[in-house]
Amino acid sequence: MSLFNRRNFLTAIVSISALGGCGFTPIYSDGSAASGLHGVIEITAGKGRENFEMRERLVERFGFANDPRYRLTFTYVVDSEGLAVSQTAEITRYNLDGISDFKVIDSASGAVLFSGKVKSTTAYSATSETYPTRVAEQDARSRLALALADQIVTQISATANQWVK
């Protein structure tokens, strides 16, 4: 049996052609609004480890702003929910649901140019020991913060052509 399938190949070629015909363009192509966001967004964050991790991921993706034209503010809220209960009535699995509201603000005028909300979920397992459970929870919170930051970058980049001056 061959891995090369002519039907799949032809379907892929037709799909790519259809995307080009409908006006599809890559977000970060040369001259796009999203490609011009690198180094022009000042990112402000609240206090706490997860806010710091989100800010660092956003700076990593958008670059450090030397001459900011825009300011990005965001919130980070997490809700923890016990998911699995053992026979001894101990919770052994937790879900973390995270929500982040964000705004892109014009630095010169103070006008809100774009705002949105992103949500994500992650989980961790708990043990009868305190330290491993705390480490697992912190790792899950870090993963959640990074996932929310990546979603913020995606939304801002995908809509940049609508609000970038």
Query: What type of residue sits at position 116?
Result: G
Distance CA 42, CA 82 (A): 37
Q: Which amino acid appears at position 5 of this protein? A: N
**Model confidence at 1: pLDDT above 50:** no
pLDDT of residue 28: 58
Helix (H/G/I), strand (E/B), else coil: 42: strand
* d(C-alpha 141, C-alpha 95), whole Å: 10
| Residues 69 and 87 sit within 8 Å (Cβ to Cβ) | no
- CA-closest candidate to residue 43, choices 29, 57, 22, 27: 57
In 3D space, the residue among 162, 158, 165 whose CA is nearest the CA of residue 34 turns out to be 158
Residue, of 4 and 98, whose pLDDT is higher: 98
Tokens read off for 59: 């700076």
Residues 6+ apart with CB under 8 A from 25: 32
At the topology level, CATH places domain 7-163 in Double Stranded RNA Binding Domain (3.30.160)
* In the predicted structure, residue 82 carries a pLDDT above the cut 50: yes
Residue 141's SS3 state is helix
> pLDDT digits over 109-125, tens only?
999 999 999 999 999 88
Q: Which of 113, 90, 104, 97 lies closest to 147 in space, CA to CA?
A: 97
| Cβ atoms of residues 118 and 100 within 8 Å | yes
Domain ranges of the chain: 7-163
Note the pLDDT of residue 126. 85
